[in-house]
Amino acid sequence: MAVVFAKTQKGQTEVETRSGGLSPRVRRVLIMVDGRRTVDELRGMLAADDLTHTLGMLEEEGYIAMTALKDERSGQTRAAPDHPLPAITAFRPLVIQSGDPSKLDKARNFMANTLNVFVGSLGASSLLTRIETAEGHEGLRAVFDEWYQAMVSSRDGRREAESLRTKLLEVI
């Protein structure tokens, strides 16, 4: 099932008045959201490497909302469920397991290793320090957006950003 987003009233107002202060790239994504195209169709039309992140930000700030699910095999579209789904950039529910710091270490190492590989330790030294000193999962979640932006700012990281983001969200 593919997700279909539509502009909310706030999104319509933003397109008409430019009052929200969105960047041109984010505004372009908002304009392309029409209530008919799936996220994959938008990805094919836009040169936005961080489309999932941008859509998540637009959704969290109330510019767009999920309105339908589309079966890509049959082409049939059905209304979104009545109960809200978590935002597409949402973290999993945080379950603290005392005595098991392995998930925290795994997330911390993943963030540091991907930065070292795709950005380089010199280009991300201050972010690496903040990742290393982050207190628990909450601290790592606080630097998640900065980590993701660093990833998409590098040429090689841009290609892998969505896959890496998904893997990190499984443990953070």
Q: What is the mean pLDDT of residues 93-114?
A: 77
Q: Would you say the C-alpha torsion 90, 75, 32, 20 has a positive or negative sign? A: negative
- Per-domain residue ranges of the chain: 2-79, 102-169
In the structure, what pLDDT confidence band is assigned to residue 111 with cuts at 50, 70 and 90?
very high
Lowest mean pLDDT among 72-81, 108-117, 137-146: 72-81
Whole-model pTM? 0.53
pLDDT digits (tens, 9 = 90+) for 16-52: 998 888 888 899 999 999 988 888 888 888 766 678 8
CB distance 70 to 38 below 8 Å: yes
What's the CA gap between 73 and 76, in Å, rounded?
8
> pLDDT averaged over the chain?
81
Distance CA 39, CA 3 (A): 6
